Amino acid sequence: MKRGEVVLLAFPFSNGVGRKIRPALVVQGDRNNRRLKNTIVAMITTTTLRADAEPTQMRIQKSSASGKASGLLFDSAVKCENLFTIERDAIHRVIGHLPKTAMGQVNRCLRVALDLR
């Protein structure tokens, strides 16, 4: 796994009952991705209504350069307030990646979500 990869995985529901195959963004640093069996991901959703107004979310338009590189099929939003640690073996496959400029936006969203200064 590498930071910035868009992956498909069985994302667990917040109540712990059930899972749904959905895309997620690897946000854990590459040093830890190389040495640990787990990785930290941010949920990606097709619900984009709040993405432009919510500082913890980043919109990805399918037709943009980032959208094309991501491998996503629909306009989506990275929800940096919805992070999850998952075993790398639970990741089905990599479908794309976000370019460096988009990852800069993700970093800003993560700072807000985690209240980092």
What CATH number is given to the structural domain containing 21?
2.30.30.110
- 21-34 pLDDT, tens per residue? 999 999 999 999 99
Place of tokens 């946000």: 27
Distance CA 110, CA 10 (A): 22
Give the whole-angstrom CA distance, residue 100 versus residue 35.
23
Domain count, the chain: 1
Give dist(CA 33, CA 89) in Å, integer. 12
Q: What is the rounded CA–CA span in Å between residue 117 and residue 111?
A: 7
Range of the structural domain that residue 48 is part of: 5-113
- pLDDT, tens digit, 9 for 90 and up, residues 36-94: 999 999 999 999 999 999 999 999 999 999 999 999 999 999 999 999 999 998 899 99
Indicate if the pLDDT at residue 12 is higher than 90: no
Question: pTM to 2 decimals?
Answer: 0.93
Residue type, 10: A
